Structure 1
Amino acid sequence: MALTFFNQFSSPHLLGIPLILPAMLLPALLLPAPNNRWMTNRLTTLHLWLINMITKQLMIPLNKPGHKWALILTSLAVLLLATNLLGLLPYAFTPTTQLSMNMALALPLWLATLLTGLRNQPTPSLGHLLPEGTPTPLIPALVIIETISLFIRPLALGVRLTANLTAGHLLIQLISTATITLLPIMPAVSTLTATVLLLLTILEVAVAMIQAYVFVLLLSLYLQENI
């Protein structure tokens, strides 16, 4: 039984072909396509309003040079948001529960922000490794600690997203299994667990949105340190 709980996190295969790539492309196919009409429909209007709101929130902590990253950060936020929410549907696979995918998103973007800072302003970027006013005996230790902290950032981004989504999906499956098992034995308790399951599902929808926002927001904060 314990094995079946974790089967949902393994990449599905069809005729020996992994389906993680179609699962990643599906959210983009569900987004409304732009058209040449002067008046848009309600779905397109809602989509544009959501993208504008996300872009505005992400660009607030950034200086003007960082606004060049608006397209990358907004696209990443929409991709993570759609992928996380679609993963809550029954019999759906969530690619963002895979640490390899999250690290493949976090590591190149974090490295791009770091290289941007080293190219444009190398002295201030390296100055983050040593806080101002540090006593001389503590300088070597603080440089080592700050360097480790710098290189841990992409790992923290990937592990945070993976752990939150994995824990939520496991809880949903455990409680749903308990609800089905208790239904013929104790209907009253099964009704109570079904209510808990509904509340947990609502919480997981909020977690899916928050984790997508936090992932991109932390990347924008890392970018702000290097521009």
Structure 2
Amino acid sequence: MHFELQEIDRAFYDYLRRELVRNNLLPDISILSKADFLLQLKAMIDSPNSKVVEIFGVGNVKDRGAVEVNKITIDRIDISPADIGAWATVHYQKNEAETAYNKYQRPAGTYNLIYQIGYVTDSTVEDRRLLNMVLWVFGTMGCKNGIKEDFSKTENYFDYKQVDFKDNSDGDYFERIFRYSVQNVFITPDTLISDEIGILNEITIEAKNIQDNE
């Protein structure tokens, strides 16, 4: 399947983010302005009766700051060539005006990606909750749609499986790390070969009923 790389990056972030929202652990950035999100987040942090779990996606490094409790971080840690190729394979799509077809060539091959999901907490209760959340959302293997910039889902989906687990806990913090492999996805753009493939508007045929003469 073909994806923009950020659609897969965002998927590992957003499926967990939605679960945090459902559990009242985070405001819903998908329906709030950034200013309103930050106001609600601050109010939750300042409230003694609420719990907050912040989540940081791939590339969101500067905002992570120093190690704090109840934090989930997601990183893409490896990209490697996969086994499936598509050399010279072409496909066609109508242009935006629907007056002709564009002819595209697929990239030469697919890629395997490794994603790392880690969380840090200083509470046994929160450790169990976050561990169960990752297992509930992703499990040992499965498939997910990519997530677009507007938080809608792609039509395509990618397969993944868990390939590693590490426990980096010490005497002060629980730190658990899951690693998931996404296999055989196209992440580089197709090449436009032609944008002048005409659309056949009318077909005229003549049909005859021929019977044997007896």
TM-score by length of 2: 0.27
Greater RCO (Cα-Cα under 8 Å, separation 6 or more)? 1
Structure ranking higher in helix proportion: 1
Structure ranking higher in strand proportion: 2
TM-score by length of 1: 0.26
Structure with larger Rg: 2
